[in-house]
Structure 1
Amino acid sequence: MSKKCIKCGHPLPDNASFCPHCTAVQMEKKEVKTPRRWKKKMLMVLGILAVVAAVGTLISLHHRPQTYEGSAQIVYPDKDKSYKVLLTFSEGDGVTGHAQGERTDTLSEGMDSALPCQLYAFDQETGELAWEEFSEEVESCVVDTKPSEDSQKMEYIEPVHNESFPNAAYVSDIMYTSDSGTNDILWTLTMKNGDTISLSTRLTIEKQAAVAYFSEDVPMETTDDLKTLLASIEEEVSSDTPVYLHLPAVTYEGDITFGNHVWGIYGSKEGNAETTFTGTVSMRGLNGNYAEMSGIRFEGNSGTGLNAYCLVLLSQCTFEGWDTAALAQNGAWVNASACTFTNNNTALKFNTSSAYGTAPSYLNNTFTGNGTAVCIDSLPGSEVLDFAGSIFSGNDTDIDNKAEHPVDTARAVMVTVQGLAGLEKTDGVD
């Protein structure tokens, strides 16, 4: 035994923890020092900092920019209000709060058209339209189109608020052809607070087979030839099948009626001769059918040049000498671009119960020497008639808007009689 009691010195085993003789504990006592006060304070400060950091992290996570993705509809929470945001191609559905996740239309082979894709915003709690206050929170709004496999990319116009659709926050016209197939229409909104909203809808265009007639293959040289052809078309071609007529550069006298089809009627020129109608042309495309007429001259001395009972799209046509050059009535609509209306009592007249399906543009027309260039007796809807690039000169009345329909002439050229001689122009001139 080498160990001795620390008190009495009696020999002890090496592992003894107390002395059996004097009962002294063999462990040496160590002085326990009291913790310094600054260390306690430091621990307290570190704890507070940890709590503050945790709270800051939670606040940062809550307020950092968020991404909201949906199909054609989403609920977007903003401050103390939530918005129901949706896409549709139908103004009626948009106003009633119904999203349109997909739409399929048919289009005649070789044709092109457009549809207005519309974005609406509602107060989620009340269900009321709230496009104005929602738009104030938007930094930017963009659209893109993504074609599916074996489809063609659709063109589009950048989204804006369009007065033709006053209840929509934004509208983008999606332009397509019969070969476009299926495209996803992608909308991305960047909010002023950094949030991102992504919406999408799908548009599918199905090609509708058409039949075409050319003057090289079918007699069309006289009015009787054309009437005989039209009669055979009514008997042999289904009204669901579009018909394209490529007319020779001849003059057709007398009244002519085109029946219930989708029509593509294309004139031609040969020297000084061009495709001309001297009698009333009636377009009877019923049941949603329509007509496209291009490169035709309408030359009369009274009566009505074009009597439309459906949607008629005119381009590069000339009207001269009519009581009424082009008349839209009974649910019809006439749209014109790059056309010339000269010396008619009334050039373009609306007396219809139909509203247009998108924003109608009357671009680059010329109205010269008419009694009334544009007469609007009856025209429902809120679509704005845009006459950008059109010239009004020497007319007794440029626009007689009895129906008080929205009309935009801000980018039209309105020339007074004095302006023809002295280049003085009225308001509305670019």
Structure 2
Amino acid sequence: MTERKCPHCGAPLAEDASFCPHCARDVHKRKPAGKGVPLRKKLLLTLAALVVLGALGGTIWWFNRPYVPQEYDSGDTGQVIYTVDGVDYQLVVAWANSFTEPAPYISQSGRADEMTRWPSRFYVNHTESGEDAWPEFQAYVASVAVEVEQDPTGTSELVAGEPLHWDDYDPRAALISTLDFTGDCGSPQVVWTVTMTNGDVVRVRQTIDVALINTLVYDWRDYPMETMEELQALVDEIDQSVNWQDEVVIYLPPVTYEGELYLNGISHTMYGCDDGTGRTVFTGTVHVNTQNAYWLNFFEDIDFVGDGSGTALSFEKSGRATNCTFTGWDTAVVALNESWVNVIGCTLEHNNVAFHYNSDGQSANHSMYNDNVFRNNGTAVLLDSVPTDIALDFQGTLFENNGTDIDNRCGHPVDDSQAVFQ
């Protein structure tokens, strides 16, 4: 065994001694002193560590941060392009026949004492293709509401109905809201508000500029219309002088008109004479192709008497015949082009075809074909093509002794459950 000695004085030491009993000095071995770290370097190292920790914490927060919902507003453009999951969608208010073209401003008119209804249509399209995107887009939608910002200068309010998908009216529209208003509501703004499942809010705006209707009355006692030439001249003059949104009402004399009448400008309402002095009779075709039509074209209390050929009422624009008679025509009433036509309370007898639908439009205005009499016709109702999928309701209509009552070649929905067949 090696004897332990003091490293300082050489005196013998016990094995467990921590100091020398002779020189009283510490006998522990000392570690060599390390090189000291300057204070500035320590501060820099500390700051670098904090920067690394901060960056790491920021990265973790960024990828786990809560989503902040955004708001989008169309302003006066009528559309918002909204992107979700990398796909661009067009949210737009538009017309049925041009559903990718925004319609931020709509002109309507109405009477101050009568409610008018118009449908506001909301579409969701793929931005690139224009195809219908609503079936897939609605999965991202929490709710859709229609709000109205009333015109403070108006004296009445526009009321918007609950937005609904109206498949038999316009299946291409995502949603439709029916707007009810009178002519003195001014220019309210309809706001389609779409709340997304992620909290985003999209507002698409449509201004409804409502003009108060002027009703212009032309009575046979005050205006010349005894002959077809005079009536045509009056209609042509009205087309040139009257605003296209004004309502034109013509009271016809108790005469028989020979020749054809052409209605090519604004829409008209024509009342036949019913004062007991005689009836208003047309023996030639009335052509309804009112290119500037704002209203429907109405015909009431008029007799249309043919010689077995031709057409009595030919509609290329929408209209309606009420309480009229049609006798002796190849075709009594025909709907062409994009028109929607109704016959109500009419008597149609001894015609080859009494009522013929051959129209391919995209809107309807009235589903009723009630209280008519179809008697002794070759074909009472011929349906080649009918706009929309709204069922034609023949409630209270009598079908009697026709070769064919309803020839439904296009398979259009027809409700004849309350019609009478004899």
Q: Work out whether residues 336 and 365 of structure 1, in 8 Å CA contact, stay in contact via their aligned partners in 2.
A: no
- Is the alpha carbon distance of 1:137 and 1:311 closer, same or farther for their aligned partners in structure 2, counting shifts above 3 Å? same
Determine if the alignment matches structure 1 residue 347 to structure 2 residue 350. no
- What is aligned with 2:333? 326
Corresponding position of 1:283: 287
Letter in 2 for 1:347: A
Q: Does 1:314 align with 2:310?
A: no
In the other structure, the counterpart of 1:87 is: 92
- Determine if the alignment matches structure 1 residue 132 to structure 2 residue 139: no
Q: Which residue does the alignment assign to 1:182? A: 187
Asked whether the 8 Å contact 1:87–1:117 carries over to 2, the reply is: no
Q: Which residue of 2 aligns with 1:409?
A: 414
Native 8 Å contact 1:185 1:200 kept in 2: yes
What whole-Å deviation, never above 9, does each CA across 1:167-219 have from its counterpart, x for those lacking one? Answer: 32113354666655423122234556776543211132456867431244346
Q: CA deviation at 1:165?
A: 3.1
Q: What is aligned with 1:261?
A: 265
Amino acid in the other structure paired with 2:281: F
Structure 1 match to 2:123? 120
Give the C-alpha shift of residue 85 in structure 1.
Answer: 4.1
Look up the SS of the partner of 1:134 in the other structure: helix
Q: 2 CA distance for matches of 1:128 and 1:231? A: 45
Amino acid at match of 1:355: G
In the other structure, the counterpart of 1:148 is 151
**C-alpha separation in 2, matches of 1:388 and 1:400:** 15
How far residue 77 of structure 1 moved from its aligned partner, in angstroms, is 5.4
Is it true that 1:100 corresponds to 2:103 in the alignment?
yes
Partner of 1:297: 302
Q: Does the CA-based 8 Å contact 2:71-2:200 persist in structure 1?
A: yes
Could you report, residue by residue, the CA deviation over 1:341-383 in whole angstroms, capped at 9, with x for unpaired residues?
Answer: 443442321345x625x3343325234435434323456xx53
CA distance in 2, matches of 1:274, 1:112: 34
**Cα 1:200/1:325, change in 2 over 3 Å:** same
Whether 1:374 and 2:378 are equivalent positions in the alignment is no
C-alpha distance 416-267 of structure 1, shift in aligned 2 (>3 A): closer
Q: 1:400 to 1:193 in 2, by over 3 A?
A: farther
Larger Cα-atom Rg: 2
- 1:360–1:384 contact (8 Å) kept in structure 2: no
1:335 CA drift (Å) = 1.8
Following the alignment from structure 2 to structure 1, what is the Cα–Cα distance between the partners of residues 288 and 383? 21
Give the Cα separation in 2 of the matches to 1:128 and 1:334. 26
Match of 1:199 among 177, 195, 204: 204
State how far apart, in whole Å, the 2-side matches of 1:320 and 1:237 are.
27
Question: Shift of the alpha carbon at 1:282?
Answer: 0.9
SS across alignment from 2:89: strand
Please name the residue that 1:227 is paired with.
228
Q: 1:198 to 1:136 in 2, by over 3 A?
A: same
The alignment partner of 1:349 has SS state of strand
Offset from partner CA, 1:306-329 (integer Å, 9 cap, x none): 333541421533334343221234
Distance 2:392 2:71 in 1: 40
Distance 1:390 1:190 in 2: 42
Partner SS for 1:91: coil
1:161 lines up with 2:162 in the alignment: no
1:334 to 1:168, Cα distance in 2 relative to 1, 3 A:
closer
Question: Helix, strand or coil: the match of 2:320?
Answer: strand
What letter is aligned with 2:320? L
Gap runs ≥5 in structure 2: 1-56
Task: Give the alignment partner of residue 342 of structure 2, picking from 336, 340, 355.
Answer: 336
Say if 1:240 and 1:210 are closer, same or farther in 2 by CA, change over 3 A.
farther
Of residues 246, 250, 254, the one that matches 1:250 is 254
Aligned length: 348
The AA in structure 2 aligned to 1:227 is: M
- Change in CA separation of 1:140 and 1:254 when aligned onto 2, cut-off 3 Å: farther
Encode CA deviations 1:273-306: one digit per residue, 9 max, x unaligned: 7754252341354433365224323353644563
Q: What amino acid maps onto 1:217 in structure 2?
A: D
- Whole-Å Cα distance in 2 between the matches of residues 415 and 188 of structure 1? 43
Task: Note the alpha carbon deviations across 1:209-244, whole angstroms, 9 max, x for none.
Answer: 674312443465xxxx15354244256445362673
Q: C-alpha offsets along residues 90-135 of structure 1, whole Å, 9 cap, x if unaligned?
A: 23542xx443322446899999976543222234687643111223
Following superposition, the deviation at residue 157 of structure 1 comes to: 5.2
1:217 match: secondary structure: coil
Matched, 1:171 2:172: no
Structure 2: distance between partners of 1:176 and 1:304: 41
Give CA-to-partner distance per residue, 1:392-416, whole Å, 9 cap, x none: 54365454344x37x3335x53546
TM-score where L is the length of structure 1: 0.63
Identity in percent: 19
Change (3 A) 1:186 1:293: same
1:314 touches 1:339 (CA, 8 Å); kept in 2?
no
Residue aligned with 2:341, SS = strand
Q: Which residue of 1 aligns with 2:67?
A: 62
Q: Is the 8 A contact 1:145 1:186 kept in 2?
A: yes
Residue type of the alignment partner of 1:100: A
Distance in 1, matches of 2:111 and 2:205, equals 26
Q: Is the 8 A contact 1:311 1:334 kept in 2?
A: yes
Q: Which amino acid aligns with 2:342?
A: A
